[in-house]
Amino acid sequence: MTLRTGHIGLNVTDLDRSLAFYRDVLGFQLLGEGKEEERRYAFLGDGERLALTLWQQAEQPYAPDRAGLHHLAFEADSIERVREYEEALRTYGADFAHDGVVAHREGAGSGGIFFHDPDGTRLEISVPSGTEGAPAPSGTAPTCGFF
């Protein structure tokens, strides 16, 4: 038996702000939430399956220099859908690591967009093919490795 990812849990500093980002900008559906002042959380998914949980228990934003989560990658079903997310994220004012769609590495057909959530957590929305000809920020390392 091979393990697979069930859901991802993220600590956030402001549940309302993060919930608005993941729900309103990225399109996750709210499946359930805890509203008790010291135990606030939100369960997000596609309407049936849990994909992401947000836990309001962080006091500081994400820091890439600590052990733990490196980045969270979502896969879209087409490059057109990636571009739709890019437009929604730009309207929101998200912080992008690279300008537009980039390849995972030089000459690759896979790639996407790389950006940060409201707490600075590094996120990726990509496709396995469809980015042929897109620039690669680094010719020697995977794009998702250092942003």
In one-letter notation, the amino acid at residue 93 is G
pLDDT for 2: 85
Q: What is the pLDDT of residue 67?
A: 87
pLDDT in tens, 98-145: 999 999 998 899 999 999 999 999 999 999 999 999 999 887 788 888
Rounded to two decimals, the pTM is 0.91
The DSSP string of 76-135 is -S-HHHHHHHHHHHHHHTPEESSSS-EESSTT-S-EEEEEE-TT--EEEEEESSS-TT--
Q: What is the pLDDT of residues 13-71, one digit of tens each?
A: 999 999 999 999 999 999 999 999 889 999 999 999 999 999 999 999 999 888 889 99
What pLDDT is attached to residue 123? 97
The CA-atom distances, in angstroms, between 66 and each of 71, 117, 147 are: 12, 17, 14
How far apart (Å, rounded) are the C-alpha atoms in residues 21 and 24?
Answer: 6
